[in-house]
Amino acid sequence: MTLSHLTDFPDRISPMLVKELRQGLRAKTFIVVFLTLQVFLGIMLLSASATSSSDRAGSVISGMIFTFFSIAVLVVQPIRGVAALSSEIKGNTIDMMVLTRLSAWRIVFGKWVALISQSALILSTIIPYLILRYFFGGMNLVGEIVFLALLFITSMALTAITVGLSGSSSAVIRAIIPLFGTPLLFIGLISMMFDGGGRQLIDTCSLDSPQSLIAVGIYILAIAYLGGSALSLGASLIAPAAENHSSFRRIVALTGMLGMLAAIYFSTIDRTLSLLLICLIATPAILIALTESALLVPTVCQPFVKRGAVGKAIGNFLYPGLASGIIFTVLIAAIGITACLIKPSLSASNEFYAVILAYLGALLFPAVIQAFFFRGDGQRVANYLLLMIGSGILTGILSALTEAMSNRDFLWLFVWNPTVLMSMVGMGRFDRDALLIAAISMNLIFVTILFIKAISLMKGNREMILQAEEERGASLGQSKL
Amino acid sequence: MSALKINNLYRYFGNLQAVNGVTFEIPHGSVCGFVGANGAGKTTTMRILATLDYPTLGSAEVCGINVVHHPAEVRRLIGWMPDHFGNYEHMTVLEYLDFYARALGYKGKERRDRIQEVMEFTDLIPLAERFSNKLSKGMTQRLGLGRALLHDPQVLIMDEPAAGLDPKARVELKHLIRVLAKEGKTIFISSHILSELGEMCDSLLFINNGRIVHHGDAETLRRSSDTMGGVLYDVQVDGKPESVSDWCILQPNVEFLEARKTGGRIRIDTQDPMKAADVLARMVKDGLRITEFHREQRNLEDAFIDILGRLDAGQDAITPPPLPEEKLMVEG
């Protein structure tokens, strides 16, 4: 037996990463992608060098390199993440991992890092082709390097999203990602290759102006937040009840929202950008908070309980679970609305408020439906996302019908669906005041329903908090003795 | 202090009562068999003990540590072997054990020594370079046992480890369990093969519909069942085997239990051998051509069936206290 073989990875590397790299580097998908990319790039450079008289040869090669690289790291690698956690759950191996010292976060993070490491390997192999491409001229060196880095960072986030969602036991949700995501990405990549969109993006990435720097900086932050949220969701989905991943995630979102509130108040931040950032921070935070398990165990209450009444009050927003998730959602929504109201420049019109409230309603709507029709904790995330997609499909059908019909008033019958309300605002043919009233009423109803659900769940939570207090009292008593 | 202690444990999945007021204790260093039909609540109870599920109500402790409140501490004490588990693609047996050893915090030489020790114990050394997903069921179970033993746990919880194994693999597994028991480990094992459990276990726990219906050693169980359930006889005839069952229908105190190739197995509701002789005489008188008539040792399956029969008849039923209403609300 060759136990010396077991020293191929040093001890300081995460066990998950060691496992995933050992498996991943032998996986056919990776080998095929890796070799295909090399063959394509080799052929392309040879043919380009044969016709190097053309002035556009350099930019065509750049486009080809970026397209093939994008397909590999934005499509194939993230799709490999779709089965990352589900295969462990299906194979009954996740339980055995949970019983080791690996926390759910380390399992998810290890899976993600392993896929990213393989993407990095692909990235490193295209660098020689980029160096060769330099000799064809017409290269925006900084722009292309930054663009390449951003493609890689985007791949990191997309992989994080697929790895995170792979923790859902719903095969439907895992299928939706490749079914909808892949065609969208292909369309984007083809347009990049043929419409010169890639050139524009590379110019934006050249970091030669403050706007370019800010745009790249914000993009990286946004991608990091989205990726982090997705991985945290994955960790929550596979974690045992005694592990708390919610509080930290909520604190990050809350800090981001309060930071945005301060930025809007103290600076002249662009209205569209600020709104975009608020939605970007709030959307994953609300989505995850409203899909958490209803379960709370005394162990996770302990850190809050030991801080007395203040700790318990904070716990109502930060305890893991759906009850506090609903209260946290209301807090995040309140901060978001305040951010819209805080500066007169931001408060534009009734139409603007109606859109904001309809967007909020669209986030609450699936949770409200689940409160009525779905019992238990199983597949909460999958149900939420499917309801959201269903709501969008209904809106699409209704929009198509309105195109064919002269009377659009029938859309009022569907105004309970926030995405329909949003499309009604977009059509600009309905009374704006009425739409705003509808949006406010809808959100009030949704919040009331969710509050009732939260209160019913809190009865159970109270018992867990009491147990945590009793345990704390007992341990304090023991330590005094 | 007990190695395993469960007190008034309930686990509901919606309206399904998987575990319904279970209470038992298992002392250190003993081997306890956990017996019950599919869906009786065995796996749920074991998963709660292994910190993989949580009780709706009640408590479960491993070596005095609560599994819900201190799962990390409990995990250091237990080795868990589920009824089925997938193995990884593109990963050898050695790499598989190396991954879990790393995940358990072993480093450097200690890690390699631990893997070596476990592989020797489970006889996995010849399979070291074999891909883990290409192993037979028996080899996979040995690998699973090796993984569960990596951190040298005090308590081993094994859910149906012998299911689907061929006789040779079953004997090997039984041998490994015996060795572990001799080493002083507490083993909590579920199985459908009661005869094997009887040989291995110090005590047996019978669970039915989420409730414990018996807890005791195999011999006591056999004897108590003997006194309660009469004596079993194997009857072979020359002629139609159905003639035995047809004859039994008309006889008081004689019950036909199961058909066999040339006869059947019957129960005579008495311990008195003279009464059995009377039954044999009546059979002969009624024209049955008896070729064989001998008393059979009552096995654990019979005892289990007897216990279930008594429960169905309303005897010995243990009614646990009802689950508080608010608990059901939380579950919803």
Chain A residues in contact with B103 (beta carbon < 8 A): 15-16, 97, 100-102
pLDDT tens for each residue of A62-112: 777 888 888 888 888 888 888 888 888 888 888 888 889 888 899 999 999
Taking an 8 Å cut-off on Cβ atoms, the answer to whether A299 and B71 are in contact is yes
Tally Cβ neighbours within 10 Å of residue B19.
31
Q: Which of A241-245, A422-426, B92-96, B164-168 has the highest mean pLDDT?
A: B92-96
pLDDT of residue B326: 47
- Cα dihedral A91, A161, A189, A151 in deg (nearest 10): -110
**Token duo for residue B148:** 């569960």
Q: Please list the residues that pair with B25 across neighbouring strands.
A: B5
pLDDT in the model for residue B113: 92
The domain spans of chain A are 14-239, 241-473
What was the pLDDT predicted at A230?
93
Does residue A358 have a pLDDT over 80?
yes
> Which of B16, B94, B330, B331 should we substitute to test contact with A (largest number of A Cβ atoms within 10 Å)?
B330
Interface check A470 vs B, CB under 8 A:
no
**Beta-bridge mates of residue B5:** B25, B61
* Burial (CB count <10 Å: 0-12, 13-18, 19+), residue B59: middle
Q: For each of the domains in chain B, give its residue range(s) and CATH number, in order of start.
A: 4-87+135-216 (3.40.50.300), 223-298 (3.30.70)
Q: Which residues of B touch A452 (CB under 8 A)?
A: none
Residues 181-200 of chain A with CB under 8 A from chain B are none
Q: Nearest CB to A96: which of B13, B102, B147?
A: B147
| 3-state secondary structure at position B23 | strand
pLDDT tens, B298-322? Answer: 777 777 777 777 777 665 544 455 5
pLDDT at position B322 is: 52
- The per-residue pLDDT for range A144-180, each reduced to its tens digit, is 788 888 889 989 999 999 999 888 877 777 777 666 7
B151 within 8 A of B97, measured Cβ to Cβ: no
Alpha-carbon distance A457 to nearest alpha carbon in chain B (angstroms): 6
At A394-405, the pLDDT tens digits run: 999 988 888 787
Is residue A364 within 8 Å of residue A446, measured between CB atoms? yes
* Interface confidence (ipTM) of the complex: 0.76
Contacts of A69 (CB under 8 A, 6+ apart): A37, A122, A123, A126, A148, A151
Q: pLDDT band for position A376 (50/70/90)? A: low
A298 touches B: beta carbon within 8 Å: yes
Distances (CA, A) of B280 to A397, B239, B298: 82, 16, 19
A480 touches chain B (CB under 8 A): no
Beta-strand ranges (E) seen in chain B are: 4-13, 16-26, 31-35, 57-62, 65-66, 78-81, 155-159, 186-190, 203-208, 211-216, 231-237, 254-260, 263-268, 290-296
Q: Whole-number mean pLDDT of chain A?
A: 83
Q: pLDDT above 70 covers what percent of chain A?
A: 87
Between A270 and B240, the more confident residue is B240
pLDDT tens, chain B, 332 aa long: 789 999 999 988 877 888 988 999 999 999 999 988 888 899 999 999 999 888 888 889 999 998 988 888 999 999 999 888 778 888 899 999 999 999 999 998 899 999 999 999 998 999 999 998 888 888 998 999 999 999 999 999 999 888 878 888 888 888 888 889 888 999 999 987 777 777 788 888 988 888 888 888 777 776 665 555 678 888 888 888 888 888 888 888 888 888 888 888 888 887 788 888 888 888 888 888 889 888 877 777 777 777 777 777 665 544 455 555 544 444 43
Query: Which residues, at least 6 apart from B283, have a Cβ–Cβ distance to it below 8 Å?
Result: B235, B247, B290, B293
Neighbouring residues of B14: CB distance < 8 A, sequence distance ≥ 6:
A375, A376, B331, B332
* Token output for B129: 């370079």
Neighbours of B218 (CB within 10 A): 21
User: pLDDT digits over B45-97, tens only?
Assistant: 999 999 988 888 888 999 999 898 888 899 999 999 988 877 888 889 999 99
Q: Which of A40-44, A125-129, B77-81, B300-304 has the lowest mean pLDDT?
A: B300-304
Question: Tokens 């959201």 appear where?
Answer: A388
pLDDT at A443: 93
Residue among A344, A339, A326 at smallest CA distance from A277: A339
Residues in chain B within 8 Å Cβ distance of A109 = none
Quick one: pLDDT at residue A69?
84
